[in-house]
Every structure is written in C-alpha cells, then in structure tokens.
C-alpha cells in the first residue's frame, strides 16, 4: 500500500507515462492528419501555390537587381531560344543534328570552306529575321536605367544590340563580322553573302566568319574585359547557358569567387546551378516579361 504522497507521486508518474505514451500517439496522429490535410491542400491549390512560388521568384530577383551596386549579365544560346534561334545542346540542339568538328572548327573550315559557309549563310538568314524577346529588351532597359553595367555574351546573333543594349562583350565574336584568312582585312556584312565562300576584296583569299570556333582562343580584348566585369560585379544574372564550354563557363565562377550573388535563369539544371544563390527554372523570355512589368513601378 502506498501512502498518500507515494500515491500522488504514483498518479503523477502514471500521468507522465500516459503522456509519454499518449502524446507520441497524439504527435504521430497529428503528423498523419496534418500531412493528409497538407497533401489535400497542395493537390487542391497546387496551381495557386506554384504561381505563388513563381511570383516570389521575380519579386525576389527584382529586389536583388534593384539593390545591386554592379550588375552584370552572362548570356548563352538559351536567351535567344524564344526568338526562334535553336540552342546547341539538349535534345533539339544544333549539335544533335550537325557535326561541330565539321562546321565550327578551323580544321573543318580548312577541309570544306563552302560547306561551313553554307551553314553560316543558313544561320545568318535565321538570325536576320529573328526579333529580340522580352529577356533581351529587359536587359536593355536595365542598362538604360543604369542598373545593368554590362552583358557578357557567348552568342554571335547580335540580338542584345538589336534590343538596344550598348555595353555588350561578345566573347565568341559576331556572325555578321568577317575576316580574311590571309591578310588583315576585316569587315561587317549586312546580309548573307550571295555566293559562298566569299573572297577578300583586298587580297582575294577566302573570308571566314569572325567567330570563335572549337580549338581557337577567345579574342583577347573581349576576354580580359569579361574577366574584369566578372571580378567587379556584386550580382550576376546567368541566362540560358549550359555552362559546359570553356573558358566562357569560368565567368560565373570568377564572379562567385569574388562574392557576387549568382542568379541563374534556365529551365534546366546545369553545373552553374550548383553555385547559384537563386535558381529560376523558367524560360528567360517568360521570366523577364514579368520582371519588365514589375520594373515599370520603378520608372
């Protein structure tokens, strides 16, 4: 028999025990019920939740952009995809249909300059008819607002300039520029050459597109400017690049190593996603059209 104190103490222990026994039951019951409720809510309001999350993306990214001291953009083929210009990699990429060693290398050109020029003529006609999309225009607007300091692009399509951007560093050249394979003649075309391969008006040798092919070094001035901008920026927008082609893909890593915030805009995951502080899994044109409408409030 236990005294009153012992009995009370016993009752207390029983209560503790029950609690220990009961609460976990209760806890697990609560967990089960709440997960059922949450799953139901998510299924029921998935669209709204997803839109909510997406809305958060552009507002969050806009805040980072507006608060930046030195904003730089690094772009690849993906930014021009919504302008109808195919990218290189991925299932519908150009390199899944064409051989880059034959069409985008000095030895492929040596072997068959006519074939290479026919391919560039096709790309020139596509690019000539292409229009910049909201991603290009929003970057041009950010430059006009003195927020975006420069664009480092791997693209040779000139759509940034067509959208009104001024400070564009073309590290892989430009498809409208040509240079002589023998003398130092260089020029700019306004339309695809009628007959290919075109010849140098100065020495008669074959002209080649003034772009960077596989196995070739990047143009020195542009590359050192690009490294300078990447080292200086506090925010870098990395838009539409697979981040696998060197040395270009070093640019976001240089910026990151200097402490910059990396914002990646790409529907796919890339090696740059690993260093990205913000990852926006959306097509650039779609995403920046929302940024552009939000930006209006700042103008």
Distance CA 69, CA 259 (A): 13
In whole angstroms, how close is the CB of 29 to ligand APR at the nearest point?
45
Interface residue with ligand APR among 58, 61, 82, 116 (CB under 6 A) is 82
204: left (phi over 0), alpha (psi -120 to 50) or beta: left
Distance CA 58, CA 119 (A): 38
In whole angstroms, how close is the CB of 240 to ligand APR at the nearest point?
3
Distance CA 299, CA 297 (A): 6
In whole angstroms, how close is the CB of 122 to ligand APR at the nearest point?
16
Asked if 270 interacts with ligand APR (CB under 6 A), we say: yes
Interface residue with ligand APR among 216, 268, 274, 277 (CB under 6 A) is 268
- Only segment of 28-36, 72-80, 112-120, 218-226 that touches ligand APR (CB under 6 A): 72-80
Q: What angle do CA 209, 211, 214 make, to 5 degrees?
A: 115
Indicate the helix (H) or strand (E) that contains 25: helix 4-66
Q: Is 148 helix (H, G, I), strand (E, B) or coil?
A: strand
Asked if 108 interacts with ligand APR (CB under 6 A), we say: no
**For residue 161, how many C-alpha atoms fall within 13 Å in the half-sphere facing its CB?**
14
Binding mask 139-178 for ligand APR (x = CB under 6 A): ---------------x-----------------x------
> Which is nearer to ligand APR, 76 or 198 (by Cβ)?
76
Find out whether 262 and 276 touch, Cβ atoms under 8 Å. Answer: yes
**Residue numbers 273-292 binding ligand APR by CB under 6 A:** 283-285
Find out whether 44 and 38 touch, Cβ atoms under 8 Å. Answer: no
In whole angstroms, how close is the CB of 154 to ligand APR at the nearest point?
4
Asked if 134 interacts with ligand APR (CB under 6 A), we say: no
> Which is nearer to ligand APR, 200 or 229 (by Cβ)?
229
**What percent of the residues of the chain are helix, what percent strand, and what percent coil, each to the nearest 5?**
50, 15, 35
What letter does residue 133 receive in the DSSP assignment?
A: -
Find out whether 68 and 75 touch, Cβ atoms under 8 Å. Answer: no
Instruction: Give yes or no: 172 in active site.
Output: yes
Interface residue with ligand APR among 241, 260, 261, 279 (CB under 6 A) is 241
The catalytic site residues sit at 172
What is the contact surface with ligand APR in residues (CB under 6 A)? Answer: 76-78, 81-82, 87-90, 93, 154, 172, 240-242, 245, 265-268, 270, 283-285
């Amino acid at each position: 028999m236990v005294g009153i104190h012992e009995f009370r103490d016993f009752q207390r222990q029983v209560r503790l025990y029950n609690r220990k026994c009961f609460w976990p039951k209760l806890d697990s019951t609560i967990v089960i019920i709440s997960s059922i409720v949450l799953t139901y809510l998510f299924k029921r309001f998935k669209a709204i939740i997803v839109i909510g999350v997406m809305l958060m993306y552009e507002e969050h990214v806009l805040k980072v952009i507006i608060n930046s001291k030195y904003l730089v953009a690094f772009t690849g083929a993906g930014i021009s995809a919504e302008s109808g210009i195919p990218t290189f990699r991925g299932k519908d990429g150009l390199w899944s249909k064409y051989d880059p060693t034959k069409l985008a290398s000095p030895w492929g050109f040596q072997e068959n300059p006519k074939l290479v020029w026919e391919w560039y003529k096709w790309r020139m006609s596509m690019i000539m008819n292409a229009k910049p999309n909201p991603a290009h225009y929003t970057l041009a607007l950010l430059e006009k607002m003195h927020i975006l300091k420069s664009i480092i692009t791997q693209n040779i399509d000139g759509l940034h300039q067509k959208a009104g951007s001024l400070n564009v560093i073309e590290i892989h050249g430009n498809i409208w520029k040509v240079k002589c394979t023998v003398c130092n003649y260089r020029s700019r075309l306004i339309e695809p050459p009628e007959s290919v391969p075109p010849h140098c008006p100065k020495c008669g040798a074959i002209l080649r597109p003034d772009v960077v092919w596989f196995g070739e070094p990047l143009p020195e001035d542009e590359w050192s400017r690009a490294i300078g901008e990447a080292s200086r920026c506090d925010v870098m927008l990395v838009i539409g690049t697979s981040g696998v082609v060197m040395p270009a893909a070093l640019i976001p890593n240089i910026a990151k190593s200097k402490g910059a915030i990396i914002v990646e805009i790409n529907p796919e995951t890339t090696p740059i996603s690993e260093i990205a502080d913000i990852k926006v899994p959306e097509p650039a044109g779609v995403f920046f059209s929302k940024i552009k409408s939000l930006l209006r409030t700042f103008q």
